[in-house]
Amino acid sequence: MKEALLKYDFTDNGLNIGDYIQSLAAKQFLSNQDPILISREALNEYEGEQVKLIMNGWFLMNGENFPPSEKIMPLLVSHHINTSVHSHFRKEEVVNFYKKNEPVGCRDYFTLEFLESLGVKCYYTGCLTLTLSEKYSSNEKNDNIYFVDPRYKRSRGLSGQLTRLFLLVTKFNTISTIRSRYIRSNNKKSWKKTIDFYRSFSQIFDDEVLKNAIYIKHYMPANKFNNDYEIFAYGEELLRKYASAKYVVTSRIHCALPSLSLGTPTLYIDIPNDHNISSCRLNGIKEFFHIIHTNGTKLSCDLLKNDEKFNLKSSFTNKEDFITVKEKIKKTVIDFIKN
């Protein structure tokens, strides 16, 4: 039987490279490295020959496009059902699809509890991106420090404005250097964003880290790429960068989980009380990371004591709780492809 791989539809606003990184995690296990590409948002429309498809990742932008075509033989693993489509996924035809293909491997406990409430047999697998070291790990490390979509809480009101003004006056050269790397544009909004970023992260990173870090976005304009193959290639480029980095700081789980797998020290930025569409993904994932905690506008990290800050020479090791999860999910996927 032929093999397929998930691709993703562009939106007018852009694309999330993290989706493609999840597909790269599946692709590394395929016997055919030129699989049939099927859009996650059009699984119900597939009319080609019978295919095997690893259905890992985030489901779904439009619940009306589910369940998939009968021509697809799915492996439901590292599967996340977002709260935004729960009402549709309670429908009989969707529940029957899951029961037909149970047990379902769930990426997080939120999904597991939802499926169990529908009478579907399921189990926890974690995320397939934890296996990316199978193909992309590197023994060559450099001194690059990556900040990937580093989210923060903005200070508001008069006190926030006064803080920005104070930092602009007292830290102008530092903020100017960071802005040239972080925003790469020269307008009033870019200065405001950079000052807010600096106000947050200078609490736990020294200035030299912030001035020398490499800043990357996972969410980007779709018109940057001509086709899916270019997007996959860019995803691979990022994975190789993360594999050789000194450490990575991110609020993107599909930067943090791959970096963890690749053996790169990783700090995950946790934003409490986040929108439920985002926060529902994290139960069963966040526990693997060293966390940068956000309490209002205050940042802290379990690796730092008293007034310590991360600097250019800082080194730390990741937790290893994920390794058992990684090995189990790897075996599940390999068995599916072989059989």
Q: Stretch 225-235: mean pLDDT, rounded?
A: 95
Are 122 and 260 found together in one domain? no
Are 28 and 115 found together in one domain? yes
Q: Which domain holds residue 307?
A: 134-321
Residues 6+ apart with CB under 8 A from 80: 57, 58, 59, 106, 107, 108, 110, 111, 281
pLDDT digits (tens, 9 = 90+) for 18-48: 999 999 999 999 999 899 999 999 999 999 9
Are 120 and 166 found together in one domain? no
Are 145 and 276 found together in one domain? yes
What residues does 22 pair with on adjacent strands? none
DSSP letters spanning 100-135 = HTPSEEESSHHHHHHHHHTT--EEE---GGGGTHHH
The model's confidence at residue 281, banded by pLDDT at 50, 70 and 90, is: confident
Give the model's pLDDT for residue 109. 94
- CA-wise closest residue to 312 among 228, 229, 206, 225: 206
Place of tokens 């480029």: 237
Token pair belonging to 334: 């390999």
Cα 46 from Cα 38, distance rounded (Å): 7
Q: If phi over 0 gives left and psi between -120 and 50 gives alpha, with beta otherwise, what is residue 249?
A: beta
- CA-wise closest residue to 200 among 253, 226, 164: 164
Are 124 and 254 found together in one domain? no
pLDDT digits (tens, 9 = 90+) for 45-62: 999 999 999 999 999 888
Give the model's pLDDT for residue 275. 56
Backbone angles phi, psi at 37, to 5 degrees: -95, 125
Cα dist. 250→49, 81, 293, 312 in Å?
A: 40, 23, 12, 17
Residue 47 CB-half CA count within 13 A: 1
Our CA dihedral for 273, 278, 280, 286, rounded to 10 degrees, sits at -80
Are 115 and 158 found together in one domain? no
Cα 91 from Cα 99, distance rounded (Å): 12
- Residue 221, classed as helix, strand or coil, is coil
Are 271 and 295 found together in one domain? yes
Cα dist. 239→50, 142, 177 in Å?
A: 31, 14, 26
Place of tokens 């095997």: 52
Give the model's pLDDT for residue 279. 59
The model's confidence at residue 272, banded by pLDDT at 50, 70 and 90, is: confident
Are 172 and 76 found together in one domain? no
Are 116 and 165 found together in one domain? no
Give the model's pLDDT for residue 248. 98
The model's confidence at residue 199, banded by pLDDT at 50, 70 and 90, is: very high
Chain-wide mean pLDDT for the chain? Answer: 93
DSSP letters spanning 257-286 = HHHHHTT--EEEEE-TT--HHHHTT-TTTG
Q: Stretch 296-313: mean pLDDT, rounded?
A: 93
Sign of the CA dihedral with 275 first, then 278, 281, and 283 last? negative
Are 7 and 123 found together in one domain? yes
Give the model's pLDDT for residue 86. 94
Check pLDDT > 70 for residue 278: no
Q: Stretch 214-219: mean pLDDT, rounded?
A: 96
Q: At what angle do helices 253-261 and 322-338 cross, to 10 degrees?
A: 90
pLDDT digits (tens, 9 = 90+) for 56-105: 999 988 899 999 999 999 999 999 998 889 999 999 999 999 999 999 99
Give the model's pLDDT for residue 10. 75
| Domain count along the chain | 2
Order of strands, sheet of 122-124, starting from the edge strand that comes earlier in the sequence: 57-59, 79-81, 104-106, 122-124
DSSP letters spanning 199-216 = HHHTTTB-HHHHHH-EEE
Cα 246 from Cα 107, distance rounded (Å): 28
Place of tokens 């035809």: 93
Cα dist. 218→6, 104, 181, 243 in Å?
A: 18, 28, 16, 16
Are 181 and 253 found together in one domain? yes
Backbone angles phi, psi at 293, to 5 degrees: -85, 140
Are 53 and 186 found together in one domain? no
Cα 206 from Cα 224, distance rounded (Å): 33
Q: If phi over 0 gives left and psi between -120 and 50 gives alpha, with beta otherwise, what is residue 146?
A: beta
